[in-house]
Chains A and B, each alone.
Chain A
Amino acid sequence: MKSFLKDNPIFALSLGLCSALAVTTTFEKAYMMGLSVLFVLLFSNIFVSLIRKHVSTSIQIPVFILIIGTFVTILSLLLERFMPSLYDSLGVYLSLITVNCIVLGRALAFASKNSVGKSIADAFKIGIGYTIAMMLIGLVRELFGSNTLTFMNDISALTGYRLVFKNVLPFSLSILATPAGAFITIGILTAIFNFIRSKYESN
């Protein structure tokens, strides 16, 4: 709870916003994006940590970006093969994980200075915090915006199950599904988050 409140990449640090805003129209897309970032973050952290002693600081950024880019490419090839519809709906935002500030930020700030084990732990801590935040945003936006809840639809190509609820609520605020709604949802959630955190910290 404490690390979720303190180091949450979206709500506390406001990093990786691009995907948090763009692909949170459905719950499924949101958590799949979170998991994708976790995947890239994990492997890039491992590799960066492994080669950290052989890279001088001056070329750190390009090298790290190339490492991250490689894993993003691997990830997109995997998704394209196994979950083509998800790959389509994530679209360009999947490639944009390459320049996601969270991944590069952790590589620079943590993995390049710490051992592999610690880097893995860090990747999980940050990645899971990110995924939870994404799930939260996706939940709010889909439930209130489109009045549906998609747990499994695009990924059914892999799992074979579909789990979609429709007309969950008696009303819907379609605005939340729009780009404007994305900003407003994150704004309000961040405010609530700040509120909880200040209460938590004062205790």
Chain B
Amino acid sequence: MKIKIDKHKLTDDKIMYYNKPEVVYIPLISGNDTDITILVKKGEYVYKGGIIAKRKGDLRIPIYSSISGIVLDFEEKTCFNGTKVKCVAIKNDFKEAMDKKLTIKKNINKYTKEEFISILKDSGIIGLGGAGFPTYIKYEGTKAKTLIVNAVECEPYITADDILAKKRCEEILETIDAILEINGMEKAIIVIKENNVELKNIFDDYIGTYLKISLKTVKNYYPAGWERNLIKDATGLEYDRLPLEVGVIVNNISTIYAIYDALKYGKPLSERIVTFSGEGIKNPTNILVKVGTPVKDILSQLKIEDDHILISGGPMMGIKVDNDLVLSANQNSILLLKPLNCKETQCIRCGKCIEVCPAKLSPVLIMKAVNSKNVDIEQLRKLHPEKCIECGLCSYICPACISIRDAITKAKKMVKEVK
């Protein structure tokens, strides 16, 4: 069973700008990894696009400053995943000074594969869909033939990718074409929702000149944007662990646009479009913001209502955060929602969670198993809680208001710990 969730206010069709933050706090986090070497000192002047930190370990990807200014301090701020993370506070001098000149490359498809990979690395391109995983890894040494561009925003409220695709359609198509050429891939499929007619029309206008790129519409359900569903809907292929097994690379559409910036101008990833929505915001909108901008500053510019909770991410997978949040590159939305007024009651084994689970789990059985007094790990393992993608549909659908996802996350941990 596929669930449609779209009873919510939509944003308007404009991109607003908020590019003059007084102070930015660049979170020192890459993916979920906070083991990062700081390369700047207090009081040092940094340029826009200057490297201020580097991730340790194998997946070396730099962290850039999104403005130019003086490093004020290192402060703990709330990050997209709700944890407190060390941030570099930089005072904006509003000069947007860069240490090198922007070079405009005419033909972005004239790169070699090696150059392409190193540009991705140097520009700090990470998956902007949510996970924040470095993008170059997908391209490095793969033999994938198909690129799937994820323009399906399946979580309610969020329209950041949608608006980006509408406004930057040509650039995106150009980038996709360049990626195909550089990596010797055969085709690209842009996947959009079938109810997003507007976007489909815009793409239809431009796509004609790109023979290798096709458009595919999928049904409007949650989680249509999950990699596994996306690939199955777009190509009919199913895989075991990674999409690469079936020769597919999946990139979010905003990642593609970030790649465009990097290829065309050598611009590192320093800003993105974030959806500000929810019942608590009177006119929901998309705002182009600099990485590291404190959410407080932006919210003060919007008409908001009190008594709402601040959520980082979508309503399904997002996390409740305090308003000390700073924006990071993989943050696609900030929501102000009414707190749920829902009391947990007894599970009645209605089986709805099993019907909706996209990962084919049996959430209620996992929950029962993990909540029993002496947990039988062997039994639990047979229910495969590790396959959970934490989409939250089970908790959403539960008529008894039980937070089933939390129980499964617990089971996931338990299975991982007890080897």
A touches B in complex, CB < 8 A: no
